[in-house]
Amino acid sequence: MEIKEISVYELKELKDKGEDFCLIDVRNPQEFELCNIDGKLIPMSEIIERHAEIPKDCKVVVHCHHGGRSKKVIDWLQANHGFDKLYNLSGGIHAWSEEIDSTVDQY
């Protein structure tokens, strides 16, 4: 199944317009402590146990540091649980820091 992508500019537009969507951060807690963009933390290692916390009835943007882990999570969720409104944040939180909000720390 195809993995849909969303750019950091498209995510900023969603946030600015106050659109209904959910932001899931699949990095580990230590990374989340370093910097985050107000997403719900569900580490990749906990997705199997916590996938029910992710809504199926609205757009869900999944992100990690650069986009690799979030792609794997989306692939697994689509294949195993029928999610169809998932979007991978292209470039992850690193791209967000570089292109949208430089106050978000890089690591």
Complete domains list, the chain, with CATH: 4-99 (3.40.250.10)
Cα–Cα distance measured from residue 69 to residue 16, given in angstroms and rounded to the nearest whole number: 26
State the pLDDT at residue 1.
80
Of 22, 35, 58, 64, the catalytic one is: 64
By C-alpha distance, which of 67, 82, 83, 73 is closest to 8?
67
Segment 49-57 shows an average pLDDT of: 97
pTM: 0.96
Structure tokens at 100: 């949208």
Mean pLDDT, rounded, of the chain: 97
State residue 58's pLDDT score: 95
Contact 9, 99 (CB under 8 A): yes
Bridge partners (DSSP) of residue 59 are 21
Q: Is 35 a catalytic residue?
A: no
